[in-house]
Structure 1
Amino acid sequence: MASHSSPTPAPAHDDMSPVTRTAHRARAAAAEIAPLPRAVKDEVLLAIADALEARTAEIVEANALDVAKAREAGTSETVIDRLTLDPERIRAIASDVRDVAALPDPVGEVVRGSTLPNGIDLRQIRVPLGVVGIIYEARPNVTVDAAALCLKSGNAVLLRGSSSAYASNTALVRVLRDAVEGTGLPADAIQLVPGESRDSVRELMRARGLVDVLIPRGGASLIRTVVEESIVPVIETGTGNCHVYVDAQADLDMAVDILINSKAQRPSVCNSAETLLVHRDIADAFLPRALNALAEANVTVHADERVRAYADASKATVVEATTEDWETEYLSYDIAAAVVDSLDAAVAHIRRWTSGHTEAIVTTSQAAARRFTQLVDSTTVAVNASTRFTDGGQFGFGAEIGISTQKLHARGPMGLPELTSTKYIVTGDGHIR
């Protein structure tokens, strides 16, 4: 690849903090990355994918330090699963990067355009956001996903992972930066925010004017802190209190399969189901099968009184549900369960307790499916499909930067277009107003 001009250096202020210096370097790199054509960005992404695979041993070795530290600290297996990288997972991450390279470039896309009555040509086009900050917890795969999506959409990225994944993230960013620099582009397009204390997070949240947007990924406490304390604009991702509703007219085999996949295929992620709702008319036929299937998947059921009535005839571990259970994102082999009197009662329950992520209905009734999709206001509503499909990769977006549960700009799995803003190009021929 041909070499590119050096970015404008950051102001040389001796009293500038490490985080501020990092943000200034990102700002300079963003200006150089923004106008690059797709072919150049794709070449960088393919170089990154190759480097990840070539340096797998280095990454796995660093990750082992984080995993050992987590086990010594008594970290739950759910979190350790999110933290762990092995050769197979790294190959999958590299494959995701190649998938991003194969996607259309959103930058320059004409969102709308027309010739106004006065002859002025007006176009609204997609442009990079600029500098994107990601604050995330113990999921080192996010490091690569975020970097790939930001580069493809013409942005520089500042990565602030948790201290529990510090060795993994450091190794990954080193590999990514080496790959970027090897193509002649500024390595500062990808940077790890310096520091392991919360002070660096707070400083990143105060970097308005240097950082264009922050995206928090993690638990409810992290997201709430960033949303409430940041003066940098925030795209709010959300927790996943997802529901599966089994309608009166459901295919029982399908319902069992969707329930188990939604809950147990990978319970540690935000699109796994946390609550099962069953229409009373199908409870006798469905719940005994469902409870046994959940037992085989080692899922503990936090049940209301009507579901507990079926417990003795099943192999399931069933405990009494409390009010807290209906709002809990377990991220574990646990699920809340209730019998409801109608579809509208299921919708009312979801409206009260949902985090707005994903809800599923299992039904053979088109009318029921239509009403459910009309009334449920979450980022994704699945009809006869697992909640686990709410995912940028599954939606064909490549990797995702997060799943937004807000309603402004981006909602649901965030791919490349959600990492852009727009600007208007006004072209006249001596027009004056």
Structure 2
Amino acid sequence: MIETDVIVVGSGPAGSSAAKHAALGGAKVILMDKKSEIGSPKRCAEDVPVKGLEKLGIELSPLWIAKIIWGIRIQTPDGTDLWLPKDQTNPSEADCVLERKVFDKHMAMDAARAGAEIRIKTLVTCIEKIENGFIVETESMGKKQDFKCKILVAADGVEGHVARWAGLRPAAKAKEMGSCVQYEMCNVEFEKQGFIEFYFGSCAPGGYAWIFPKGDDIANVGLGLFSHKAEKTAKEYLDDFVAKSPYLKNAQAVELNVGGDPAGGMIEKIYDDNIMVVGDAAGQVNPLTGEGIVPGMIGGKCAGQVAAQAIKEDCSKKFLKFYDKMVREELSYDNEAYKKVQEYVYSLSDGELDEIGHALEGESFDEASSAEVVKKLIEISPKASRYLGKLV
């Protein structure tokens, strides 16, 4: 039996963030992951806002940035384009498309440098609640090993086995779980360089398709949708999108990624005695865009800081409720607001989306962001104003 203060299950950005901040706070931490290579396979479109990374104190590195993004393109079903350029004089306004396979390793290394112990190729097979913590049963390379911890952090993604075993609800109901599929492609053509592109309407029912550049002719091309709104599989919709796009006529896929996206907002209960849930497992994802890297890392940071303090004081849910308070102060308003926007936007028909595109086509935007688009939408659409007016 190996004993430690904190065990974090899952070495994605949220788990590594939790491990890092728990270790920085003086806790003895083990970060474990079932994969033999942290960051692989990727299940992500890889775009993050620079200001989100800055908020977390993460310095940008050319090792894991594939492309700096200086604008957003939004296209409606009839081909109407909205081009939203970003202020290139302010680096904090940019986005960056990551190399997740490198970024995730970098974040895990940060946790290791802070003092966390990393165990790869370590599958958690069972957890057992005990009076003052958890017993965590694992298997690695055919060898079984038991661990004992005072605090368990569940960061095992959309599957959420650890939280479920602990009696907490999964991150998303079936109707709230987006189905996502993506190709990484070369020979992609761009109308403008340095823009991430979003395509709305029946090409991806209840979601959107995307083209996120990673190089001069390289891009992540994918889509996410809600299966209950769709008539085909996500991959069939993606293949149709690729076949119809003039920018992808010569493109070739070099990688296929699939996965779920918990787009229903944060789950109700993200902590209990001796346990906290972070990242996708906790539904810490922007419901409108599906972006979960920065929200998950914020959740991990909050959990790690609370865990380090709890080890010194009290590991019961009475103390761990401070994690819930911290992370909801950071994320809940955005989650609630964007959930409302999601319900509205994804209920619109192709014709309604085209009308909005026509109305917004000549508008100027103060900034290139989803919040700014929503603000303009409320200004020009009485229907949107009735439904979303209280958000601004």
Q: How does the TM-score come out when normalised to structure 2?
A: 0.27
| Max Rg structure | 1
Looking at secondary structure, tell me which structure has more strand per residue. 2
Q: How does the TM-score come out when normalised to structure 1?
A: 0.25
Bigger RCO (CA 8 Å, 6+ sep): 2
